[in-house]
């Protein structure tokens, strides 16, 4: 299992390149150049490009699961957890202003390509949705929890898209403050 390192390197490089350039625009040559291995070696670990995509989606999925699990532990209050989610657009601001949201942009690209793995990519979006829904439920918003989850998710996608388009830091900060105010309103309503 010593090759796990090479495989890991490939997935890491592909993850990064798919994010920065897009899936379609990234070639085998790009990835193998990044990892500094031959394209032949490449084929030993992954038979097709789609296999790499699936591996990247798996990685992103587990990365996000780990992130959410961490927030579950570090933030005891569901409101604080939602705040963690909201503030990732600030935490990752530099990358978002350069390449957008990794989840949203991949989902959109695969949808346009009508790619077999588009449903798998959507799962990451669903992961966020379910997690947010649970937080809003714990906050006391029972029948509105999923709606609020979608609202926050939608908000984050919009901010990411415009951040990429206009590269306006102040806009991002302003939007975060606004949605946090909304969140406060929700919290007090639900009591």
Partner DNA sequence: GACAGTTTAGGACGATTGGCCTAATTGTTG
Partner DNA sequence: CAACAATTAGGCCAATCGTCCTAAACTGTC
CB of 114 to a copy of itself, least distance (A): 8
CA–CA separation, 142 vs 134, rounded Å?
9
Q: Does 168 bind a copy of itself (CB under 8 A)?
A: yes
Alpha helices, DSSP H, located in the chain:
4-21, 28-35, 39-45, 49-74, 78-86, 88-91, 93-99, 102-113, 118-138, 145-166, 169-190
CA–CA separation, 56 vs 121, rounded Å?
10
Q: Does 89 bind a copy of itself (CB under 8 A)?
A: no
Task: Please select the residue that binds a copy of itself; options are 6, 12, 99, 120, rule is CB under 8 A.
Answer: 99
Q: How many CB atoms lie within 10 A of CB 181?
A: 10
Task: Please select the residue that binds a copy of itself; options are 125, 127, 180, 190, rule is CB under 8 A.
Answer: 125
Residue 47 touches which member of DNA, a copy of itself, none, C-beta under 5-8 Å by kind = DNA
Q: Does 50 bind DNA (CB under 7 A)?
A: yes
Count of residues engaged in binding DNA, rule: CB under 7 A: 24
Contacting residues for 139 by C-beta, under 8 A, at least 6 apart: 78, 79, 82, 145, 186, 187, 190
CB 21 within 8 A of CB 30: yes
Q: Does 48 bind DNA (CB under 7 A)?
A: yes
Which residues from 8-47 bind a copy of itself, rule CB under 8 A?
20-22, 24-25
Closer residue to a copy of itself (CB): 11 or 159: 159
Residue 104 touches which member of DNA, a copy of itself, none, C-beta under 5-8 Å by kind = a copy of itself
Closer residue to DNA (CB): 112 or 177: 112
Task: Please select the residue that binds a copy of itself; options are 82, 159, 176, 183, rule is CB under 8 A.
Answer: 159
CB 84 within 8 A of CB 147: no
Where on the chain is the footprint of DNA (CB under 7 A)?
Answer: 1-6, 26-30, 37-45, 47-50
């Amino acid at each position: 299992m010593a090759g796990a390192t090479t495989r890991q390197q490939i997935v890491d490089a592909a993850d990064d390149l798919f994010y920065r350039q897009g899936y379609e625009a990234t070639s085998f040559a790009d990835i193998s150049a990044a990892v500094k291995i031959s394209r032949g070696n490449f084929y030993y670990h992954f038979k097709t490009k789609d296999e790499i995509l699936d591996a990247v989606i798996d990685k992103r999925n587990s990365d996000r699961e780990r992130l959410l699990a961490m927030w579950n532990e570090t933030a005891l209050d569901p409101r604080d957890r939602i705040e963690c989610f909201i503030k990732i657009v600030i935490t990752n601001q530099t990358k978002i202003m350069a390449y957008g949201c990794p989840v949203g942009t991949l989902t959109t690209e695969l949808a346009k390509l009508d790619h077999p793995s588009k449903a798998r990519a959507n799962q990451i979006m669903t992961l966020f949705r379910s997690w947010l829904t649970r937080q809003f439920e714990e906050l006391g918003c029972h029948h509105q929890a999923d709606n609020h989850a979608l609202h926050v998710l939608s908000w984050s996608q919009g901010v990411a898209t415009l951040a990429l388009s206009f590269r306006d830091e102040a806009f991002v900060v302003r939007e975060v403050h606004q949605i946090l105010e909304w969140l406060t309103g929700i919290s007090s309503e639900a009591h």
